[in-house]
Structure 1
Amino acid sequence: LVEKDRNSSMVTTWTVTPAGEGRSKVVVSTVWNGAGGIGGFFERTFAPKGLGRIYDAMLAKLAAEVEK
């Protein structure tokens, strides 16, 4: 699944592959060309950590749902 942000260059790809019987592996990767200058510095510093927390939470909820 590929998600593209309409307002920026951010593209997130969700890849699901088999990982044994009844199991799957989900990998999330994001590519983003942030702004330049001081705004870009803050984006490069804080955005990856924020996205990581968001994706970790989403993956945990996904795992909880499918492991019922």
Structure 2
Amino acid sequence: MPGKANAAFKEYKYSSITVNEDIYRIFNLFEQECNQVQDLYDTETTSPINTIKQKEWDRKIREWLKNE
């Protein structure tokens, strides 16, 4: 069984079409997620009433980036 898995991995690894499609799919999913987060951030922080929320979001983002 491990031999079959290794052979399948090598085939996957060297099949540039499959790898490129997977990378493209992952990139698109990541881009969609980033857009959703940006939209959420914009809706939470654009109105004058939400300036407190904007400061809170900025603090959360700073803490998250610091932990990364």
TM bucket, shorter chain: 0.3 to 0.5
The answer to which structure has the higher strand fraction is 1
TM-score (norm 2): 0.40
Higher relative contact order (CA 8 A, sep 6+): 1
